[in-house]
Amino acid sequence: MSGTDLFQGATFAALLFDMDGTLLSSIEAAERIWSRWAARHGLDVETFLPTIHGKRAVETIAALGLPGVDAVHEADQLTLAEMDDMGGIRAIDGAVDFLAGLPGHRWAIVTSAPRPLALRRLAAAGVPVPDLLITADDVVNGKPRPDCYLLAAERLGVDIAACLVVEDAPAGIAAGEASGAAVLVVAATHREEMATPHPTIGSYAELVITLEDGGVRVHRAPAA
């Protein structure tokens, strides 16, 4: 075994990855689209933008309570705009190689993006599509509710308590916590340090894994 065990010797039946900010960076494209939308609706763009990350668009819009605004329609229009803007979409450092080391039945992507947008961003970033992809379309309640992670564990046929949720945004971290899974935070796209009790990495190069009969163990790579 190499490096420091991050989770007290736990062996995980599955790793459940968020997508945006965790496996790929879409922050440039997302903020371009959402900035224009916020300005059209008279919102303070700088204050509003931090609220969009990690949550489904429809819930972000509905929470604003804007008079006369149909959250479902607006979310659909934003998705179309985001699908046309793949500028700056890239894989998080080390993510593709890290995923390549995981057996297909040991990981899934659990994203707040609608399925068509998720597939387009994964392709643009060169991140593989997993056997199991849970999207905004698959649940009634999005993050920070745990529904999406519970569904992923159910479909993989594993106990959520034996899973590791890999996340970057507060809403997703809260969803992972509420699900009962262990949580690992990816800070690759963070502009400010996030206070969190969970282990945190800036790149997947900081991790090594050990495959065992019962699943996957996750370690911090030894210092070079």
The single residue of 20, 76, 138, 147 carrying the catalytic annotation is 20
The reply to whether 18 belongs to the active site is yes
The reply to whether 20 belongs to the active site is yes
Question: DSSP of 31-58, one letter per residue?
Answer: HHHHHHHHHHTT--HHHHGGGSTTS-HH
| Beta carbons within 8 Å of 85's beta carbon, 6+ residues apart | 29, 32, 33
The single residue of 18, 70, 138, 213 carrying the catalytic annotation is 18
186 pairs with which residues across the strands?
A: 201
| Beta carbons within 8 Å of 25's beta carbon, 6+ residues apart | 88, 89, 90, 91, 92, 125, 188, 189
Residues serving a catalytic function are 18, 20
